[in-house]
Amino acid sequence: MTKPTIEALHRDIAFANQYRLELIKHLLTLATALLAFTVSFRPSLRVAEHEWLMYIGWIALGLSLIGGIFHMLGWDRFYISYHDFDYKDRDGKRPRKIIKIWRRYAMITQFSGFIIGVVCVALFAALNIHNMVVLK
């Protein structure tokens, strides 16, 4: 096996960073759209059952949005820390360690909030499908 060139490593790192950025942006977009859609176009139901699922879904999607914003901010601060400190100096390691902890909490909040929000909204819809008002 041949050792990759520095150009190949830079290309792979750039590709991984672009993938990460697109994933965060897509989750932000999907969470925003689902939250806005379910709040704006709440279904017309005879009787809404298990409304608590919708409320939990909204809260989780809101937390996902907040987590996503802080996730992006965490990566921004992480990369800026290399500009603010000499990357070989120990002074830059402590801020990056703190940033990494906050960034990971934000990532977990974003991903788990999105999953919980989607599951709750889907369960609410599935459990209330028989209560839909039929328009003529």
Q: What is the per-residue pLDDT across 14-38, written as a single tens digit (0 to 9) for each?
A: 888 899 899 999 999 999 999 998 8
pTM for this entry:
0.81
Tokens standing for residue 26? 């897509």
In a domain, 127, yes or no: yes
Write the CB contacts of 88 (distance below 8 Å, at least 6 apart in sequence): none
Query: Which range marks the domain in which residue 97 is found?
Result: 26-131
In a domain, 120, yes or no: yes
In a domain, 6, yes or no: no
What is the widest separation between alpha-carbon atoms in the chain?
71
How many structural domains does the chain have?
A: 1
In a domain, 78, yes or no: yes
Q: Measuring CA to CA, which residue among 57, 74, 67 is closest to residue 126?
A: 57
In a domain, 58, yes or no: yes
Cα torsion through 92, 66, 56, 41, rounded to 10: -160
In a domain, 16, yes or no: no
In a domain, 2, yes or no: no
pLDDT, tens digit, for every residue of 39-53? 887 666 677 788 899
In a domain, 44, yes or no: yes
Query: Which of 58-62, 73-77, 86-90 holds the top average pLDDT?
Result: 58-62
Q: Is the pLDDT of residue 87 over 60?
A: no
Higher pLDDT pick, 88 / 99: 99
* C-alpha dist (Å) from residue 126 to 12, 52, 76, 84: 42, 14, 39, 51
